[in-house]
Amino acid sequence: MPAAIADVLKRMIDGGGRVCVLTGAGMSAESGIPTFRGTHDSLWSRFDPMRLATAEAWREDPALVWGWYRWRMQLVRDAQPNAGHKALAELARRVPLSLVTQNVDDLHERAGSTVDAHVHGSLFALRCFACGQAHDGPLDDYVEGQQKVAPMRCTACGDAIRPGVVWFGEALPDDAWSAAVDAAERCMLVLVVGTSGLVYPAAGLPALARRHGATVVEINPEPTALSADADHVWRSTAAQALPQLLAI
């Protein structure tokens, strides 16, 4: 860890102030979950979000959209939390910490963290597309390589069950967004981990925190849209960097 960053983190953590961690897809990359951007095999370089991640796409071809999300759910189910997820869970036992994630996987929870805000929803929080009733039953079967899968049906109204993620053009869930804003406004230190900082409003949280007096530290192997406004940048990966915080 760069000495200047170690000093800042030690000061902040020893001072007992609240830490806010904002995570993005890079957080789960070392668990084998593809990011959205930045590599040849990232999701948005292989797939068209307008055909797979909008309400219009769902109306057009629900089986195609559900098949794609079932594939992503299976990737997550087969993955394990990495050393970075585990380190954040441990850090939260030592310091007051709010965890805000853009990720729709459940790897933070499976590492033992409480997530304060899933600002882009959760893959497994299934609900009816028409009436919104939560679907608590088991997931349908998924056969590897199956491109189209007919969605399950709602027991209340018979319409199709959709994944609990925020699609392009949809508003963020109110509760999650207010919890994220609250976390940003109350913290002394923000760790921005594994996000390209391109998707708003989530990408505005570090700047919001900074306006409220927080120090912003970015942890990302690559420069991002947020790097210039961070107080410190640590060019490392989530699984390599975050465990080092426990040694401070």
Which of 196, 209, 215, 230 binds ligand OAD (CB under 6 A)? It is: 196
Q: Are 176 and 118 in contact (CB under 8 A)?
A: yes
Measured from the CB of residue 97, what is the shortest distance to ligand OAD in angstroms?
A: 18
Eight-state DSSP code of residue 141: P
- Cβ contacts of 110 within 8 Å, gap of 6 or more: 80, 81, 85
Query: Using CB under 6 A, which residues numbered 91 to 110 contact ligand OAD?
Result: 102
Q: Which of 17, 90 has the CB closer to ligand OAD?
A: 90
Which residue's entry shows tokens 């853009």? 102
Residue 221 in contact with ligand OAD, rule: CB under 6 A: yes
Tell which one of 76, 179, 189, 199 touches ligand OAD (CB under 6 A): 199
Residues 6+ apart with CB under 8 A from 150: 62, 63, 66
User: Quick one: angle between helices 83-94 and 238-245, nearest 10?
Assistant: 20
Binding mask 117-156 for ligand OAD (x = CB under 6 A): ---x------------------------------------
Distances in Å between the alpha carbon of 176 and those of 35, 79, 151? Answer: 22, 25, 26
204 interacts with ligand OAD by CB under 6 A: no
Q: Which residues pair with 101 in a beta bridge?
A: 23, 118
Around Cβ 169, how many Cβ atoms within 10 Å? 10
Distance CA 189, CA 176 (A): 20
Contact segment (CB under 6 A) with ligand OAD among 9-17, 126-134, 149-157, 214-222 equals: 214-222
Distance CA 8, CA 137 (A): 47
Active-site residue, selected from the candidate residues 108, 120, 212, 232 = 120
Please say which residue, 2 or 15, places its beta carbon nearer to ligand OAD: 2
The least CB distance from residue 246 to ligand OAD, in Å, is 17
Cβ proximity to ligand OAD, 187 vs 226, nearer residue: 226
Amino acid identity of residue 52, one-letter, is L
Task: Say which DSSP state 54 is in.
Answer: B
Give the residue, chosen from 21, 76, 107, 166, that forms a contact with ligand OAD under the rule CB under 6 A. 166
Least Å from the CB of residue 50 to ligand OAD = 12
Interface with ligand OAD includes 24 (CB under 6 A)?
yes
| 195 contributes a contact to ligand OAD by CB under 6 A | yes
Point out the residue whose Cβ comes nearest to ligand OAD.
26
Q: Is residue 108 annotated as part of the catalytic site, yes or no?
A: no
Distance CA 222, CA 212 (A): 26
Residue numbers of the site for ligand OAD (CB under 6 A)?
24-26, 29-30, 35-38, 42, 102, 120, 165-166, 194-196, 198-199, 220-222, 224, 237-238
Point out the residues that are catalytic: 120
